[in-house]
Chain A
Amino acid sequence: MTGKKPFETVVAAHGATVLRVCRAVVGPIDADDAWSETFLSAMKAYEELPVDANLEAWLVTIAHRKAIDVTRARSRRAIPVAETPDTGTAPAADSGDLDDVLVIALAALPAKQKQAVAYHYLADLPYNDVAAILGGSVEAARRAAADGIATLRRNYPGLTAPRLTGSKGEPQ
């Protein structure tokens, strides 16, 4: 089968990852608009996309641009909005509380670090794809993600817990 998949399949396969990326980059309030704009734009361009294109990298590239648009639109409107992550009712489990801390720490990162962390760790994109999206060198993308992770590690208590096996080294 060489034909292009129905767009429904694309939304089903990548909708969750794109939503997480949008939430990480623009926060929970603007994420829905960024997600919708991303898939609308993707749908317009879908027919012209080569059949063998990497869909996730393509979608995250669009999401990156739409996130910038949404953020700009909000800052132009300049309506003060609480930026507290909307994680619903407080989870009872300890891991849930730690997750909240992680989300807050992520939201506080500088934009480029936040984007690099989101595209590499949430969307699983290799650093050359991340670099293509951010518009810098591969090394710069790698460094932005590493700096972001280092800050998260300082702010996220779970990450300072002793390693159980120590068999898995830190990349780079």
Chain B
Amino acid sequence: MTTDDLGRNLTRAIPADAEHLSRLHDRLAAVALADGLLDIAYRTVDSPVGSLLLAATDVGLVRVAFASEGHEAVLQGLAERISPRILRARPRLDSVARELDEYFDGRRRTFDITLDWRLSHGFRATVLRHLPEIGYGQTATYAAVAQLADNPKAVRAVGTACATNPLPLVVPCHRVVRSDGGIGAYRGGAEAKRTLLTLEASS
């Protein structure tokens, strides 16, 4: 038996099983949260529009991401733009997950969630803050939203603001559609947008 084998035997003899590590991880996240070390907590939830990543700072919900965006890439982006002190930690996001669940069940029409707007700037942020004025089950055209944001000519910029919304679903960019009746682009894909509009129309 070689010394390499001994290393392998040692690794096998000293367990580090996934379940135990998962408990240690959750304890770490809880202590980090309590000690103010955790800058971003996240979790994923299943939904009718696929797996959603929810990320929150101590200010509030900062990012909602669709699976199509690549959750790992989104977390890497948050590490670079906000802080790399990121851990999966469900408790900070339990209420957001519950409200989304109620929304997808047709039992919730508005969200009561504190938002962290730090990923939106300038005119895009202005546009996004007006979107909650479009009520549940309604739609508005990009041109109408440009008017809401006091810049009627900025129709294309409204499109960009919606396409780069860091808080989709909660900030309802899915309710903004094209003036020719087309559904328009969506960060989670046109299919997801259709699913949401259908859900809201039937609830």
A interface vs B, CB < 8 Å?
A: 1, 3-9, 11, 15-17, 19-20, 23-24, 32, 35-36, 39-40, 43-44, 46-47, 87-88, 95, 98-100, 102-103, 106, 117, 121-122, 124, 149, 152-153, 156, 158-161, 163, 168-171
Contact = CB atoms under 8 A, between A and B. Distances in A.
Contacts of A16: 16, 21
A47 B76 contact: no
B13 A15 contact: no
B24 A152 contact: no
Nearest to A159: B1
Given A168-B2, A170-B3, A40 B84 contact: no
A159 B2 CA distance: 8
Contact of B9 (A8, A102, A124): A102
Interface string B1-13: 1111011011111
B83 interface: yes
Contacts of B31: 36, 40
A43 B1 contact: no
25 contacts: A3-B76, A4-B79, A4-B80, A5-B76, A8-B42, A9-B75, A11-B28, A20-B10, A24-B14, A35-B24, A36-B31, A39-B28, A40-B35, A43-B28, A43-B38, A87-B15, A102-B9, A103-B13, A121-B3, A122-B14, A149-B3, A168-B2, A170-B2, A170-B3, A171-B3
Interface residues of B, number: 38
A149 B12 contact: no
Contacts of B83: 47
Contacts of A152: 6
Contact of B10 (A5, A32, A35, A102): A102
Given A8-B87, A159-B1, A36 B24 contact: yes
